[in-house]
Amino acid sequence: MTRRMTALARPITGLARIGRRIANAVAETDYAQRRWLTVMTTPDSYLTSGGDQAPDDYAEFLFRSSGSLRHEPAADQAQRRPAA
């Protein structure tokens, strides 16, 4: 009976592995899309014409940093995701 259960468990294990890979790909795509949206809607990315110019005054600094800031992932998640 043990051989029969092992033979039946192999395809299920393979399907679970494929399911995990698909779930990981979807999660990575979701993360990339959210990151892209954050970068593209940051005021600093489309309002400054000179690239890395410092803001002229404090009000401009506050406006530039008013968008969502990059979230630093927890230490256990930092090893799984590449830094973007």
The average pLDDT across 26-49 equals: 81
Please write the tens of the pLDDT for every residue from 35-45. Answer: 888 877 777 66
Q: Where does residue 48 fall: left (phi above 0), alpha (psi -120 to 50 degrees), or beta otherwise?
A: beta
3-class state of residue 83 by DSSP: coil
pTM: 0.51
- Distance from C-alpha of 77 to C-alpha of 16, rounded to nearest angstrom: 22
Nearest to 39 by CA among 7, 71, 80: 71
